[in-house]
Amino acid sequence: MAVSLYGYAQAPAAMALEVGAGPGQIGLEMHPNQDCQGPAAMVAAGDDATALLDKVNGKIVVVAAAGRHDIALPADLLEPVDVIATSRGFLVVGALGEVAMVSAKGDVLARTRTGHDPEAGVPRLIALADGFALDDLNGKRVNVPLSALQTGTPVVANLAAAASYAATAPHTDPTTIVIASAQVAGPLSTMTLKSRMRIVDARVLWVNEGEGALVALHESRRLPHEAAYVRLLKVDAAGAAHAEAYVRPAAFACDTRRPYARRADGTVVSLVFQDNTIKLDIIQFSPVGKAEPLALGPHPAGATLIAEHDDTLRALERLNGVSGATNIAMTSISASQILQRARAPLELVWRLKASAFEHVAVANRCAPPSNIWRRPLRLDGMLGKDVTGMPYRWGGYMSALANFSKHLDAGRLAGDDCTCRKVNCVYANSTGMDCSGFVSYAWQTGRYFTTGSLPDRAVSRPVLWHELSPADIVNKPRSHVRLVESVHNGPAGPVVVVIESAANKSCGGVCRRSYTQGELQQAGYKPLRRITLSNEGERK
């Protein structure tokens, strides 16, 4: 039996992963009205071990048949989002572009900062022929300033060659894409890939000139209803696709950017989320044209969890003075006015006073039900300084931005990123906005709506992805919502620039971020447009 670089035997085809904060456990936080927090990515880590980047617990968990091995990441590496296994350990990048090289024993071998702009999307860590780099959603590449002696070489052979593929030209036939690499010789130097649907993007995950390649295709269709898919294609050494598999929607339930990995024995494993559990499953391939398409969308949670989340969302509305009997009378507003309102809390400058920074009798700790206030990380070290941007507060909403200053003057704590599955973790003596509170303010709804009630036909109406325009929202019911600021084309398809209020450590309040349309579709977001827009006829 093969033994991995990290001392474990081959991992089994499928296994349950225990959720928690203990040794060998994976962090998973699926709270209502908050973006799901779970494993950020997974990679092959040696002969047949699989490594999971656990951003909740700040560690890497190497999973194999004989056991699991935790590798602690630096405590101040903010929100790890991508990882590559190397001959020296693991190269990890945080959401703001900081990179750390960590050994298999958890020793920090090197650290560096890059010029990555977080507003241009979550950085993607890629291998180059002579090092590593970060790519953003606009195609800008920033080299990682670490030497080969510091980082080692990728454990997965030809990883740099796989990352070197690019589309040769804009494809005139939407069902065909041609990708090529100058680093690969022979038939695999250029691959022509076809689909029964529209191809949005193609990404090579693995390539070997004598064996073949594994390619991930993001596909979409508009009829009979709009849907997105991720199809994995196995390509032989002659460049012909011979096997396929559709990634299950449950793999993307927690916004994991890469929930699958190819192991050294050729099998491909995937994460599968079900309520509050995670499983590492093997993907079964079929001959090309025989696999059943699996449309991505909102993750089908269990009835008990759905009911629990819905109860919490209704309780959040009641805390903001809203009842089920509240009349909805949406006033007319233009898209430009919505964007102006959205940018106001984004650009808000305020002074963090001692009374808003901490209270002696209130612990800065999220451990419901006894401790239910935690200061957003972005405010640490900012006491007495000017802060830009409204802080995140779960259940937070205000109809007028001036109320924030009034709350601070009244001695409320600034922000609160302590979220939970029960509404009793809302700390009343704090101020700020959560994701749907921010959208409710920007849309000028006149009341607080959650991600569960924003899709109500008295509030919004669905639109197609190709119709998405500034001032629309992308909403994931019971999870998170983002307001669209602009849409433009990028190397991997449409890029959606949003303004959102997020609890994650790299944001901690209202911030500007970017996502590909594919990322949003994979995660289960749906585009919505506010009703009674005064400039509706002028929109595309």
Tokens of 268: 């491909």
- The radius of gyration of the chain from alpha carbons, rounded to an integer in Å, stands at 23
Using CA atoms, how far apart are residues 132 and 128, in angstroms rounded to an integer?
A: 5
Give the pair of three-digit tokens for residue 207.
Answer: 């390539």
Q: How many CB atoms lie within 10 A of CB 330?
A: 17
The pLDDT of residue 29: 85
537 and 416 in contact (C-beta within 8 Å)?
no
pLDDT in tens, 306-361: 445 566 667 777 777 665 545 567 899 999 999 999 999 999 999 999 999 999 99
The gap from C-alpha 234 to its chain's centroid, in whole angstroms, comes to 26
Instruction: Output the pLDDT for position 296.
Output: 82
Distance of CA 299 to the CA centre of its chain: 14
Give dist(CA 250, CA 273) in Å, integer: 5
Tell me, what's the pLDDT at 420? 80
Confidence (pLDDT) at 2: 34
- Reported pTM: 0.89
What is the structure's pLDDT at 222?
A: 84
Positions in the chain short of pLDDT 50: 1-12, 301-307, 325
Q: Looking at residue 304, what is its pLDDT?
A: 46
Tokens of 85: 């296994």
Residue 167, H or E segment: strand 166-167
From the list 382, 380, 378, 375, the residue with the least C-alpha distance to 416 is 375
Nearest to residue 353, comparing CAs of 410, 408, 416?
408
What pLDDT score does 300 carry?
52
Q: Calculate the CA dihedral of residues 246, 250, 255, 259 and round it to 10 degrees.
A: -50
Q: Can you give the pLDDT at residue 48?
A: 74
